[in-house]
Structure 1
Amino acid sequence: MYKLLIVEDEHLIRRYLTDALDYQELNITVVGDAENGQEGTAMIQDLQPDIVLTDISMPIMDAFQMFEATKAQDYQKVILSGYNDFTNAKKAIRSGARDFLVKPIDLEELRNCMVDVTTQIQLQRGQLADTDGIAIDLLKDVRYSRDHVVTQVLTWISEHYACKFTIAEMASDLGYSESYIYKKIKDHLGVTLNDYLNRYRIRMAINQLIEDPSMLIYEAADASGFSDYKYFNQVFKKYLGMTTTDFKAKVLQWWRIFYVLDRIVPF
C-alpha cells in the first residue's frame, strides 16, 4: 500500500478528503492528516509517506515552507488551492509538485491524479515498465455516480469484497431488495452488479499480486473473495485477455505492466 498524508487547515475539507475515495482500490492507505505545514512536516518525517496531498495557504507554515523543511524526504506532492492561481501553480511545479488541483475538488479529477501519482511511484521503483506495457483498465466502462444508494452498495463491496457473500445477503444487510440494487447499479454505473463485483475483486487480486509477487494465484483468488479457483481464472482471462499463469510469468516476473486504474470513484 502506498502511504498518503493529507495536510489541510479546514477541518471539514480534511475529513472529506480522508474519506472521499476508495483508497484501498487504488492501493493507497491514508496514514494521517495534519492541519498546517508544521504538523505536516513532523508527520512527513515520522510517517515517511509516499504521497502528500496538501493545501497551499495554511497558518503557521504553508505548503512551500513544509516542502523546504522536508526536502530530504522522498514523496510525491499534490497541491490543493482555493482558486485557480497561476503564480502558485508555477511555484508548485518548481517545488516538484506532481499535480495542482483547484477547489472545490472534483472527485474524478482527484482519483485520476492519485492513479497518475501511484503509477509514477511504480515507474520510479522499477515496478512498472514504461515501454511494451500491458494496459489494464478494468473499470473503464464504469460510470461515475454520487447516488446515495450506489454509494452505499460500492462502500459495502469495498469493505466485504474478500468475503464469500451472496447478493441476497448484501441486499439484506443494506435493507434493499436485490432487484432494486441491481437496477440502481445498472442505471447509474452502466454495468451489472455482478460485472462490477468481478471487476473490483480482480482489481484487488492484481493489487495483491503486484504488492507481493511471491503470492500464489489461488491465495490471491481466495483473498479477493472468489470461492472457486477455476471461476477466478475464467474471470481473470475475460478481463485481462491472459491467463493467471501468463500474468505471473510475463507480467509479474519481468515487471512488464502499465497498471492504469481509471474512471471509477465510489463517492
Structure 2
Amino acid sequence: MINVILVEDEEYLLREMALTTPWQDLGCTLLGEAQNGREGLELIEKIRPHLVITDIRMPGMDGLTMLREADRILGPDAPWAIILTGHSDFEYARQAMRLGVKDYLLKPIDDQKFHSLVSGIAEKVETGIQRQQTRKRQDMMKESRLSLFQEYGSPVKGDGKDEYIRLSVEYIRENFSRDISLLNTAEELGITQGYLSRLFKERTGYTFLEYLTFYRLRKALKLLQNRSLKVHEIAHQTGFADHGYFIQLFRRNMGITPGQYRNGGNQENHEH
C-alpha cells in the first residue's frame, strides 16, 4: 500500500473523492486531506506521502507552488503527484511535469480514468520500494563481517592435517542445526580438542566457533527469505537454541536485526 494525501479547495469534491474512491482496492491508503496549498505542504512534510493528488488552482498557495516547495524541501523524497484542473493549457502541463507530476486529470473527473491512473502509480511506487529494499539488503551484505566469510575449500594436494579440517567442515555442514562444539568434533575425529583448535585456525583463518557461527548465519540469511518462517524458528533451525542470542549475533555481524534485514533495513518494533 502507498500513502496518499488529497489537496482540493472545493470541499464537496474533496469529500466525494475521499469517501467514494476505493483506495484499498487501488493499492493506497488515504492519510490526509487539505483545502489549500499551505495546508497541503504541511501535510506533505509531516506524512511524507508517496503520492499527492492536488488541485492546481487554489487560493493562497496554488498546487504547483506547493509541489515546488515540497520538491525543494524533500529533494529526492518528494512525492509523486497527480494534478486536477479545469485548465488544460500547455504551460501548466510543462511546469507540472518538472515537479514529479505523472498526469493531468481534467474536471469533471472521470472515475474510471482516475482509478486506473492511481492504481498504475501505486504499482510503480511499490516496485520502486521493493527494488530499494533489495539494494539495501545487498549493500548491508557487502558491508558486513559476514560477507567476508569464506568457506574452507580442501586443497587439491593436501596433507593429513588438511584431511582433519575437511572432515571438521563436513561435520559442521551436516550437524550445524544441532548443539555441536569443538570438543565433540575433535572426539568424532579421534584427536584432541587443543590440536584441532590450533589446526583449524591455522588452515582456515577462523577459530572453530567463528567458522560455525558464520556458517549458521549464512544459512539463516537464506531462511529469512522465506517469510512463512518466524525468526525464532530460523534461530532453532540454524542451531541457535537461544533466540535472543541469535538476534544479538546477527546484529553484531550485520549491523541490523534479522527482522530489519527481512524488511529491507526498515525499523521494526518486534522480532518474531
TM-score scaled to structure 1, two decimals? 0.47
More helix by share: 2
Higher relative contact order (CA 8 A, sep 6+): 1
Larger radius of gyration: 2
